């Protein structure tokens, strides 16, 4: 009798029936249909937040951070504080332009970079993969991937 019950149990525990699988697939489809539209705006907002954070890092690289002081001197003067003017392009924040002298620690003038992490050149692109629009004359950085555009003045 015991052998008969084991054989019956093995026969019935072989897997799921087609009806059970269809029910699970339908339930997962309903859950996905409800959850995915709610996640879409969250991913868009996270791209906006990531782009704003990166734009603030670029602004700090240009202007410096006046809150960082050591021995009554600014620790992070940024490109503008070291050189005396804004960079002509964002590349100047990671590589020294030929027209600018190297940093002189006595006069505290010259290129003292890199001012940004340049790995993968991610600092050039917003979260949508579009290049930042940088205008040193208007003193703006613009991300065009968002709707509306994100504009940061420095």
pTM of the model: 0.69
Give the Cα separation of 146 and 152 in Å (integer).
Answer: 13
Q: Which residues pair with 139 in a beta bridge?
A: none
Neighbours of 17 (CB within 10 A): 9
Helix or strand holding residue 140 (H, E)? strand 140-143
Task: List the chain domain ranges.
Answer: 18-153
Helix or strand holding residue 68 (H, E)? strand 65-70
For residue 5, give both structure tokens: 């019950």
pLDDT 10s per residue in the chain (154 long)? 566 666 665 666 667 888 999 999 999 999 888 888 777 677 888 999 999 999 999 999 999 987 777 777 777 889 999 999 999 999 999 999 999 999 988 888 999 989 998 877 788 999 999 999 999 999 999 999 988 999 999 8
Map tokens 């703006």 to a residue.
140
Give the Cα separation of 88 and 78 in Å (integer).
Answer: 14
């Amino acid at each position: 009798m015991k052998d008969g019950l084991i054989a019956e149990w093995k026969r019935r525990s072989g897997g799921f029936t087609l009806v059970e699988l269809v029910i699970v697939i339908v339930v997962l489809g309903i859950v996905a249909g409800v959850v995915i539209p709610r996640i879409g705006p969250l991913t868009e907002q996270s791209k906006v937040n990531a782009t704003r954070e990166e734009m603030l890092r670029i602004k700090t690289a240009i202007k410096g951070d006046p809150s960082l002081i050591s021995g009554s001197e600014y620790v992070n003067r940024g490109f503008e504080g070291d050189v005396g003017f804004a960079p002509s392009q964002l590349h100047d924040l990671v590589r020294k332009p030929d027209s600018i002298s190297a940093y002189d620690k006595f006069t505290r003038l010259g290129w003292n970079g890199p001012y940004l992490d340049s790995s993968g050149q991610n600092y050039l692109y917003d979260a949508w993969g579009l290049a930042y629009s940088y205008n040193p004359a208007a003193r703006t950085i613009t991300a065009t991937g968002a709707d509306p555009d994100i504009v940061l003045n420095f």
